[in-house]
Structure 1
Amino acid sequence: MTPNTNETQIQNNTIELLKNMGYTYISPEEMKDYRTNTGQVLLKDILLHQLQKLNSFEYKGTIFPFSPKNIAKAIDDIDESINEGLMTANQKISDLLMMGKSFTEEPVSGVKKSFSLNYIDFKDPSNNVFHFTEEFVVNRETKNEKEKTRRPDLVLFVNGIPFAVIELKKSSRGTEEGISQMIRNQGKKEIPQLFKYVQVTLAGNNHSPQYATTGTPEKFYAVWEEEDEKVKASVSQLVKDREVSKLDKTIVSLFTKERILSLMHSYIIFDGKTKKIARYQQYFAVEKIMNRVKNFDNTGRRAGGLIWHTQGSGKSLTMVMLAKVIKKEIVNSKIVIVTDRKNLDKQIHNTFNNSEVKAARARSGHNLIELLQEGKTVITTLIHKFKKVKHEKIILDNPNIFIMVDEAHRTQNTDKMDSLHKSMKKVFPSACYLGFTGTPLMKKEKSSFDKFGGEIHRYTIDQAVRDKAVLPLLYEGRLVEQWISDEKGLDRRFEKIAKYLNEEQTLDLKRKWARFQRVASSERRLEMIMLDINEHFKQHIQGTGFKAMLATNSKYEAIKYHKLFQEEGEVKTAFVISAPDTREGHSEVDEDNKQYILEEWNKIIEKYGDEESYTDKIEDDFIYGDEIEILIVVEKLLTGFDAPRASVLYIDRNLKEHNLLQAIARVNRLYDGKDFGFIVDYRGLLGDLDKALNDYSGLADFDEDDIQGAVFDIKDEIAKVKTYYSYLEELFGAGTSVPLTDSIKDGTEVPTPDRILYADDQEGYQVLLGDEEKRKLFYEYLSHYARALKLAFSSDKIEEIFSEKEINNFRQKLKFYNELRKAVKIRYHEVVDFGKYEKQMQKLLDTFISADEMGQLTKLVNIFDAEFDAEIERMVGDNARADAILSASTATIRERMESNPAYYEKLSLRIKEILEEYKDKRLSEEEKLKQAKDIRKMLLPSDEEEEEGKYPETLKHNVQAKAFYDNLNNYFSMVAEAMPTYENKTSEDVLSKVVLKIDQMFSEVSKKPDWKNNTEVRKTIEGQVEELLWDLEDEYSVKFDNLDTILATIHSIGINNY
């Protein structure tokens, strides 16, 4: 059966599904009985009933209900003010929902005690009531916009409290549109009073829904993949007489009553002020761990195991959520989080302390035992601390101690670490050991991890990339030895880098290249790599908001690279190394340069005080600041370091196995405008990437399935330039277009259309883009084309895939289409940029597409702007000028429509008539322009001569009264014939007096705070207007049959003008 992808049908399907899941539907009409006004989002009658039902307290064997006063106070308390911001209010409300609140009761006279009252029964879901509604009208916070309300598609309630919002889109529209709408609605001027309660948000179409929580940025919206077979099976029973969609599966997975209460109770945390909800792999990992640890072996130990969640997928937060659940479900439990490096211990300690699961940090092995004996329930420590504790022969034999070992593979694979692991087990012989790793296990490690208890849960690299939890990594090898072997090699490299640069850029590169004549051949390698990185970063990354890392082979090389970059003076760098006497598990490769390194280290200590302060400062500057563009590292910060702005890792270091996988994952984190992480390898670690990954020596010890998707050949992405190019050409060539489905957005290639039409006629292109749907496709296609082309130019491989002729054609087409975008923006008065990709687009144009000829997009000017006439005159042709005026006028009409519908609807209709008349060739371009200017004139402030005769003299200069006059005129003209001329009065005279009285009413009531949301104010005005009209009926013997419509019109005009 073909699924119906219409938005209304999708919403109706979802309504039926929620009903089948046991939710009670409240229609928009019925919802009016549950709310006093559209500013109120709590269903207070339902909440009142549920609080009375769920809560009571016991005193001396007698059960008492909570007093009406405290029940009312509980309802008031959860309606938290948003004065301190949405997320502060949301956190306070979330705490109340999870933990309840204590109230003082007086069970018997003179006795006062505190008792806990709960809003939700998390233990027994059947005690709660679940409702939902559609098109839930909520007042916006702003009073100055034309749209005064928002209408989320679906809102779900538990015990009368809104906990979820769903935005649905038809299948031809992207999920991003629904997410954008969801995020917009949480803004200060929008409907934060709804979202302050919300725990789960869901947006999308039938085939690609994504979920999050309040405050989540778009890039962190996630997909849910169900792992519970019973839940999977239930979907087909709940969805009747139609095909099951991905949306159906997601709704059942998230909103089954037991599941949603579990998510709310244990799997939503605040990381500082940032609210986060578990991704599906985190939820199922914790659930499986909890099922595992509830089993005991014959020695009384709990079963443990290993969790492999690929780097960047939220492993640290999984540990926080696990700790939270353990503390709730296992009485007197204690949790110790163990790492093997100081920076990782600090990082995970901070992660815990930013959440509600606070952790102590053990300063020493002895302090670790003290903290446990003092009753601390969550502690972070280093594995090395256990050696001293073992020597003191301290043993804590308790099966309720849980040891979480981070990067567990490192505690197993050396004799020294294995010894420390044994020390840990001697101190805690009955503890439950849970190992976490961000990289897959090598074949030789798998058997050794059986002592942990075997694998509990895995989330592979391939899964994370597919779910967009991390970014795909694109690999390019650059064999520097080929460039520096002789002078010809240097010349070939120069020509490749300079090929598509302009004259000024080429001269600058020549100046730099001359240095190689002066550099000894032994030093050329570092110099060449530095210059290659310098040019690559400057041409492709600098100024886009992104950064890079450089992994080097030794401390000496790290310092040397930094000095070389400083000499060049175009890219800001810093380096991080450990103290010179730290060997970090390797023989010292810097033996011959010890004095040089020591001198540099002493300068660092003199400046920063100590190693930790130095590392912290460089980390913070790189992550948050703008003073470091490339961070040079040796071993420190190649693991466990999160810097989402880092988009490129340059490798000049021999890396293999876990170290290689951990290093490349530094650039796989999500960030706005970042589609990929890039690996530029100067060591040839993965050759041409034309074999299975485990065929390369650096990854040979892994199973192929475990490392699938770790990196992709950049050539495969470069080839997609042609695909996106063909979409653009087809859009204008054959007059049809390829629909941009989610799979195409992800880069899936489709056959290139047979017919490609070329044209130099910008006017023809602009006219074709008069169709709004075609414009949307044009912007989408151009965005993808520009991003693909930018990627192609950043790689040496572009010339292996495309001929020089093709490359030049791609460049010229990008220039043409960008100029078209600028013209279309003005002509159809649209705010058009590529948002998070705009800086990258401009970088590409500036560097490779004749920067001197390319202007940036200009800011839109409205019809009232002093620059508007000049902007119009710069356009070519009367038709283009007319379109620009009419489009800008339409935007103004849209903004003002609700303030005077009768007037602006008339103008809107006239614009449509002008466009139709021109299309039918009943107007020339010149006539179209003249009429467009007349429309604009009607929107500009009028002078007194133009006002003459339009309105009665008494309404002159009164904009609000004129709005009433325009919109009530029709109703009064209907009774004009029945209204005799009486003492020279006409219906217009009578109407002018009526609207002046109405104007006076609104002028008075609008002085009251929040009058627009006050139902009593509305009733008062309606009563006064009714009396006014009744008096007219009596005086002139006429009848207003449509009184309700008149009252609604007056209310709308008043709300939008005062």
Structure 2
Amino acid sequence: MSYQSEAQLEGDLVKRLTSGLGYAPVTLPDMAAMHANLRSQLGKHNGVTLSDAEFAKVLNHLDKGNVFERAKTLRGRMQLTRDDGTPLYLRFLNTQEWCQNEYQVTTQVTVTGHHKTRFDVTLLINGLPLVQIELKRRGIELKEAFNQINRYQRHSYWSESGLFNYVQLFVISNGVNTKYYANNRNQDFKQTFFWAEEDNTLVTQLDAFADVFLEKCHLSKMISKYIVLHESDKILMVLRPYQYYAVEAIDKRVKEGRKNGYIWHTTGSGKTLTSFKAAQVLIENPKVDKVVFVVDRADLDYQTTKEFNFFSDGSVDGTDNTKALVGQLGGDTKLIVTTIQKLNTAISRARYEGGLGDVKDQRVVFIFDECHRSQFGDTHKRIVDFFSKAQMFGFTGTPIFAVNAVGKRTTKTLFEKCLHKYVITDAIADENVLRFSVEYWGKLKRKDGSLIDEDVAGINVQEFFNSPERIDGVVDWIIQNHDSKTHNKQFSAMLCVSSVDALIAYYEAFQRKKEAGEHHLRVATIFTYGPNEADPDADGLIGDPDLNMADVAVDVHKRDRLAAFVADYNAMYQTKETVKDGKGFYTYYNHLSKRLKDRDRKDAFDKDRLDILLVVNMFLTGFDAKKLNTLYVDKNLKYHGLIQAFSRTNRILGQVKSQGNIVCFRNLKPNTDQAITLFSNKEAIETILMAPYGDYLDQFNEAVEALRAIAPDPDSVNDLKSEDDQLAFVQAFRDLIRLRNVLTSFTEHDPSNLDLGVQEFEDYKGKYLDIHDKVKSDKPDEGASIIDEVDFELELIQRDEVNVKYILSLLSEALIGQDSLDPKIRDASQAKKKMVYDLLGSERHLRSKRELIEQFIDQHMASIPAGQSVNDAFNGFWDAEKTKAIADVCKTEGLDPAAFKAMIEQYHFSGKKPLQGAIVEALAEKPKILERKSIVERIGARLLKLVSTFDEGIGSL
């Protein structure tokens, strides 16, 4: 079967860009030509001719900072002092009239970094490379182009003035599938996006994508308006198509009049980013006096506050001081971020009326985040009555329809028209959110086995649900199954219960069992302590968490219980949280939120991990944490409350997180089906929910057949000589480990059901890792292996419990029996030793230690003195080898040993590589400026290899 070649794909694209889309072709074989072209294009764009000296200043100005800082430089102007002393404000990109720029296309630019590399297709705007397109021939998986760009980012983009670090967008395509994404070095392949039409129909073919997305005005509009410079994380983020259409629709609605509208984008699809960008766009409209972004206090977390204040200094006031909000509304602040509670107070109380006199008749646009919440309806009416020119926009993932309305108000009655829809089926099809795996346990049954309807009047089901015996049983189930649900605590979970009384019973059960040594889970909780709370099971909808504790009457008993639980939290994390007043309560709430969200960060420490957050209503709506993958449910949920709660688990994150896990300890299946039908369509239930366990089991066993067709047994992998055959094996085994990852999250999973035994899987895995080690070793990019571009997804096959400690326990058992007179014991000893060798070959994180551990077995095991344990002997051997390895690095690199050891200790503490200055300072002979970068990177890599070999994956010896 013949495929269109990469060269043909490139040629067709360039022809389309030049003939149909108006890009000027330019030949730029190297960076010298790139510089000359940049000089010409910047001069043309600014209406000047730059001299050699002037352009040298421009290059020096451009060659500073990382990708994020250069994105700011691109959007700013340079004050250039010309040769004659006159000033010139040089513009690099016209972001206001984005069509008024200079557009070119070039191919095969050669750049020399660590290796010589050539880039496929580069789109230049005003001479700067702002879009990089990498192509693969039809039939090759798209991820290979993504991995290739990652390699270029490591090896080349920073070199020769670093102009390629000005790339704003990457496009990857194999002709059939085409995706785009922002220049963010740390993102995952799942953070790449298809473009789509306004009705969410995907545009995947390269030629169609080029026509709509790479059209000059649209492309420069995306770069100018729809890339967000995320200050908190110092990264670029680009809007997905549905986010783009939503902002465009709001912008158009404001320009055309004062009608309201709402955006229905499913939970987890990034509504806050969309509304943030909408606010940015609207304040640039001269006809709009103010934009007020309204959130619930529970959602005004540290991150949101920080990001909005970066964009518009002083726009967010995170205090309880309504007077400050009144000052903002009556002052010059154009963008204001506030809470629904403070806004309601400001317009309801007479004492603030004088401060709001000037703004009452101004054109104020209100943007409501999570506008499905019931309290927005009351405040909505007050806003309309108070502001004569108010214009209202809402964002929700779960609109209020007639069927799920508590009163008479629906989202449509409040906001008039839905301006754009992106429902949960769209998001799952686009892989922007995960599907749910829902399990139902502990259903209420009669003695004859029939289910009891929990909603039938006259049946006291609450007595059963709140019984200590049942709560103990649920806690035991969670303790037993939590590791499999969260991939050995890689992820966190929430447990939501029906009332504060139930929560207290659950928390105390967890603590009691922890003190008894039955588990080591880290459990924390938070709840409000108002008296006589209504039973949240009354309607199955999530109540609005009220964090304004100053207005809540206090149930002293419940406050004291929470204070005791917070004391447990402080002991667990060495913190000083308090809930003695409203301010302390809110601070504790924010710290819990931050602790869960910080697990998403690369520099997160396991000591800061929170395993289970126990709640009634809080955190079940509007809260996003990618490292949260499981929700345990012991409360009635319905309609938007159910979807909101379930959606805490379905944020995309890498390959390990294959679905959001929902474990229901009540019979919520009818409610689940009803909610999914309501918020998508009647055919959507099977799409949104994971298939049953048996379906994935069948798929796994079919994948085993496909694997055996390529390599009938592990040893036959050795006979795969061609790269195409090896690639087929890698892809087949990768499919198999993906399915295995899904299977292990099901409670009913039994490895004996698989057509591939545990040992044979480990043997295949060893061969898989052998190929990985072979193709990932250092080599020039020229003629690189095709397998080198495949993502091996090694995170799916790492078992942290198999560490050096475990290996030593096997060796101890082998040592005891190796000289036995009983042949069965000797055979068992040899089997354990063979198991060690097999594990060293199949466990990814032990492979770096394999040579040393084998050396210990071969040269030291037999001579361990009587009375000395294997652990002690190994520790002595390991310390000696580590000392030798450190000494070798110091000798060959000319490093001060004490300084190098200090860098290793600092890395253990911070998790961050040593700074360039620290490495240079430790060198006996300071390198020349041009040599410094490569030397520093080499020493940094050797330090990480030392840590990986000698310190990581050891276990508690």
Give TM-score, length-normalised by structure 1: 0.64
- Per-residue deviation, 1:567: 3.3
Q: Which residue of 1 aligns with 2:15?
A: 16
Q: Does 1:91 align with 2:91?
A: no
CA distance 1:123–1:617, shift in 2 (3 Å):
closer
Q: Does 1:434 align with 2:393?
A: yes
Q: How far apart in 2 are the matches of 1:24 and 1:374?
A: 49
Query: What CA deviation, in whole Å up to 9, does each residue of 1:709-739 have, x standing for no partner?
Result: 6974444464133224223323434x59xxx
Contact 1:538-1:571 within 8 A present in 2 as well: no
Aligned partner letter, 1:389: I
CA distance 1:567–1:774, shift in 2 (3 Å):
farther
- Per-residue deviation, 1:127: 4.5
Partner residue of 1:781 out of 732, 740, 750: 732
Q: Which residue of 2 aligns with 1:25?
A: 25
- Per-residue deviation, 1:249: 2.2
Q: Does 1:532 align with 2:523?
A: no
Q: Does 1:830 align with 2:791?
A: no
CA distance 1:780–1:551, shift in 2 (3 Å):
farther
CA distance 1:341–1:725, shift in 2 (3 Å):
same
CA distance 1:727–1:869, shift in 2 (3 Å):
same
Contact 1:93-1:197 within 8 A present in 2 as well: yes
Contact 1:155-1:164 within 8 A present in 2 as well: yes
Q: Which residue of 1 aligns with 2:530?
A: 581
Q: Does 1:855 align with 2:855?
A: no
- Per-residue deviation, 1:209: 2.0
Partner residue of 1:810 out of 732, 750, 754: 754
What secondary structure sits across from 2:336 in the alignment?
Answer: strand
Query: What CA deviation, in whole Å up to 9, does each residue of 1:29-71 have, x standing for no partner?
Result: x535xx437xxxxx33333333333336xxxxxxxx6885895
What secondary structure sits across from 2:594 in the alignment?
Answer: helix
- Per-residue deviation, 1:855: 2.0
Q: Give unmatched runs, 5+ long, in structure 2.
A: 451-463, 544-553, 568-575, 579-583, 599-604, 777-789, 804-809, 811-831, 860-926, 934-957
Q: Which residue of 2 aligns with 1:225?
A: 195
CA distance 1:699–1:187, shift in 2 (3 Å):
closer
CA distance 1:867–1:190, shift in 2 (3 Å):
farther
Structure 2 counterparts to residues 68-79 of structure 1, below 5 A: 68=51, 72=55, 75-79=58-62
- Per-residue deviation, 1:530: 0.8
Q: Which residue of 1 aligns with 2:334?
A: 377
Structure 2 counterparts to residues 453-532 of structure 1, below 5 A: 453-481=416-444, 522-532=467-477
Contact 2:503-2:616 within 8 A present in 1 as well: yes
Q: How far apart in 1 are the matches of 2:664 and 2:470?
A: 14
Partner residue of 1:572 out of 511, 521, 526: 521
Contact 1:10-1:168 within 8 A present in 2 as well: yes
Q: How far apart in 1 are the matches of 2:614 and 2:73?
A: 47
- Per-residue deviation, 1:555: 2.1
CA distance 1:828–1:204, shift in 2 (3 Å):
closer
Q: Which residue of 1 aligns with 2:32?
A: 36
Q: Does 1:166 align with 2:155?
A: no
CA distance 1:120–1:195, shift in 2 (3 Å):
same
What secondary structure sits across from 1:186 in the alignment?
Answer: helix
Partner residue of 1:729 out of 699, 702, 705: 705
Q: Which residue of 1 aligns with 2:561?
A: 600
Query: What CA deviation, in whole Å up to 9, does each residue of 1:745-785 have, x standing for no partner?
Result: xxxxxxxxxxxxxx6x643x234434433333333333332
What secondary structure sits across from 1:465 in the alignment?
Answer: helix
CA distance 1:449–1:809, shift in 2 (3 Å):
closer
Structure 1 range deviating more: 661-670 or 68-77: 68-77
> How large is the Cα RMSD of the aligned pairs?
4.4
Query: What CA deviation, in whole Å up to 9, does each residue of 1:983-1034 have, x standing for no partner?
Result: xxxxxxxxxxxxxxxxxxxxxxxx9865999xxxxxxxxxxxxxxxxxxxxx
Q: Which residue of 2 aligns with 1:669?
A: 651
Contact 1:440-1:707 within 8 A present in 2 as well: no
Contact 1:544-1:843 within 8 A present in 2 as well: no
Q: Which residue of 1 aligns with 2:717?
A: 766
Contact 1:476-1:714 within 8 A present in 2 as well: no
Q: How far apart in 2 are the matches of 1:862 and 1:342?
A: 46
Q: How far apart in 2 are the matches of 1:390 and 1:622?
A: 36
Q: How far apart in 1 are the matches of 2:535 and 2:388?
A: 32
Structure 2 counterparts to residues 185-224 of structure 1, below 5 A: 185-187=152-154, 191=158, 193-216=162-185, 217-224=187-194
- Per-residue deviation, 1:651: 0.8
CA distance 1:260–1:556, shift in 2 (3 Å):
same
Partner residue of 1:633 out of 598, 606, 615: 615
Q: Which residue of 2 aligns with 1:290?
A: 251
Contact 1:135-1:152 within 8 A present in 2 as well: yes
- Per-residue deviation, 1:864: 15
Q: Does 1:654 align with 2:613?
A: no
Bigger radius of gyration: 1
Q: Does 1:326 align with 2:282?
A: yes
Q: Which residue of 2 aligns with 1:132?
A: 105
Contact 1:443-1:703 within 8 A present in 2 as well: no
Q: Which residue of 1 aligns with 2:40?
A: 49
Contact 2:180-2:195 within 8 A present in 1 as well: no
- Per-residue deviation, 1:836: 5.0
Q: Which residue of 2 aligns with 1:1028?
A: none
Q: Which residue of 1 aligns with 2:119?
A: 152
Q: How many residue pairs were aligned?
A: 753
What secondary structure sits across from 2:657 in the alignment?
Answer: coil
Aligned partner letter, 2:511: Q
Aligned partner letter, 1:279: R
CA distance 1:820–1:54, shift in 2 (3 Å):
closer
CA distance 1:357–1:660, shift in 2 (3 Å):
farther
What secondary structure sits across from 2:153 in the alignment?
Answer: coil
Contact 2:263-2:396 within 8 A present in 1 as well: yes
What secondary structure sits across from 1:172 in the alignment?
Answer: coil
CA distance 1:566–1:7, shift in 2 (3 Å):
farther
- Per-residue deviation, 1:304: 2.4
Give TM-score, length-normalised by structure 2: 0.70
- Per-residue deviation, 1:177: 1.4
Q: How far apart in 2 are the matches of 1:458 and 1:838?
A: 35
CA distance 1:175–1:15, shift in 2 (3 Å):
same
CA distance 1:72–1:533, shift in 2 (3 Å):
same
What secondary structure sits across from 2:757 in the alignment?
Answer: helix
What secondary structure sits across from 1:360 in the alignment?
Answer: coil
- Per-residue deviation, 1:289: 1.3
Query: What CA deviation, in whole Å up to 9, does each residue of 1:295-345 have, x standing for no partner?
Result: 12xxxxx22210111111111111121122222333563211112334446
Q: Does 1:390 align with 2:341?
A: no
CA distance 1:828–1:645, shift in 2 (3 Å):
closer
Q: Percent identity?
A: 22
Q: How far apart in 2 are the matches of 1:683 and 1:388?
A: 42
Query: What CA deviation, in whole Å up to 9, does each residue of 1:920-948 have, x standing for no partner?
Result: xxxxxxxxxxxxxxxxxxxxxxxxxxxxx
Contact 1:473-1:711 within 8 A present in 2 as well: no
Aligned partner letter, 1:93: R
Q: How far apart in 2 are the matches of 1:222 and 1:357?
A: 31
Q: Which residue of 2 aligns with 1:795?
A: 746
